[in-house]
Amino acid sequence: MNKENEKMYVSVKTGDPGAIGLLGLAMVTLVASSQKLGITQGLSYVIPWAIFLGAFAQLYASVLDFKKENTFGGTAFGGYAFFWFGVAICWMIKLGVFGAEIAKNADPKQLGFAFLGYFIFSIFMTLGATRTNKVLFTIFIMIDLLLIGLAGTSFGIMEEPMHQLAAWAEFITCILSFYLSGASVLNTQFGYEFLWVGKPMDFFVKK
């Protein structure tokens, strides 16, 4: 064989990046839900966690998942990473970081359409999650409810019930994400299912 035409494929083994991505999701939803539930006030101290944990940690996990040829994990972490980048910027606009004029011209309904778009994205990711594990599938269900609540609030539809739906769905997302992040680490570390996550579901498996 002509050496000029030879190709070399190198396989690089890496650990599962899901644990750090889920930690990022858990941390940002913990801080953000505390504000929605009225336990804390304001958005100033939510923004750093949205950027560094919600966005960068999940983006890092996304890149590693794509390198592992995990299309589902890479798309999920990457998609929600950019969601938190966008949300953080919107909060900064609301707080007047970019000036009073841009804050004055912000239309909450545009944010509602963004949440609606992410709800559509989240629906097919939820279907894909049936082939992962039951805890992750439940996290996606909670994210679906969170996005419904956020969209409803932004569109002015049953604002208080929708706000409460978003707040509690986000808090449950936080608890489940902490759990699954811990399970990802400990199940690997101990070499057996130290924390239950549940087997994939066969709803859409072709028989």
Predicted local distance difference test score (pLDDT) of residue 10: 62
pLDDT at 196: 97
| Residue 15 pLDDT | 83
b/e per residue 55-80 (b: at least 16 CB within 10 A): bebbbbbbebbbeeebeebbbbbbeb
The answer to whether the beta carbons of residues 149 and 167 sit under 8 Å apart is yes
pLDDT digits (tens, 9 = 90+) for 72-93: 999 999 999 999 999 999 999 9
The token pair at 142 is: 């909670």
pLDDT digits (tens, 9 = 90+) for 146-163: 999 999 999 999 999 999
What whole-number percentage of the chain has pLDDT above 90?
Answer: 90
Residue 63, pLDDT score: 97
Q: Are 78 and 62 spatial neighbours (Cβ–Cβ below 8 Å)? A: yes
Token look-up 């999940």 returns 58
For 129-138, write each residue's pLDDT tens digit: 999 999 999 9
pLDDT band at 206 (very low <50, low <70, confident <90, very high): confident
Q: Which amino acid is at 142?
A: M
Half-sphere exposure of 187 (CA within 13 A, CB side): 15
Residue % of the chain over a pLDDT of 70: 94
* pLDDT value for 204: 75
With a cut of 70, say whether residue 34 has pLDDT above it: yes
Residue 7: pLDDT over 80: no
Stronger pLDDT, 184 or 5, i.e. the higher one: 184
The single-letter DSSP state of residue 5 is: G
How far apart CA 56 and CA 60 sit, in angstroms, is 6
User: In the numeric block, which tokens belong to residue 24?
Assistant: 């990022």
Q: Is the pLDDT of residue 1 over 60?
A: no
pLDDT of 5 higher than 90: no
Question: What is d(CA 68, CA 74) in angstroms, rounded to the nearest whole number?
Answer: 9
The mean per-residue pLDDT over the stretch 112-118 comes to 98
Other beta carbons less than 10 A from residue 101's beta carbon: 8
pLDDT top residue among 175 and 203: 175
- pLDDT tops 80 at residue 38: yes
HEC secondary structure over 126-149: HHHHCCCCHHHHHHHHHHHHHHHH
Q: CB-based burial of residue 5 (10 Å sphere; 0-12 exposed, 13-18 middle, 19+ buried)?
A: exposed
CA dist., res. 49 & res. 145, Å (int): 21
Nearest to 60 by CA among 82, 45, 30: 82
Q: Which two tokens mark 131?
A: 């082939």
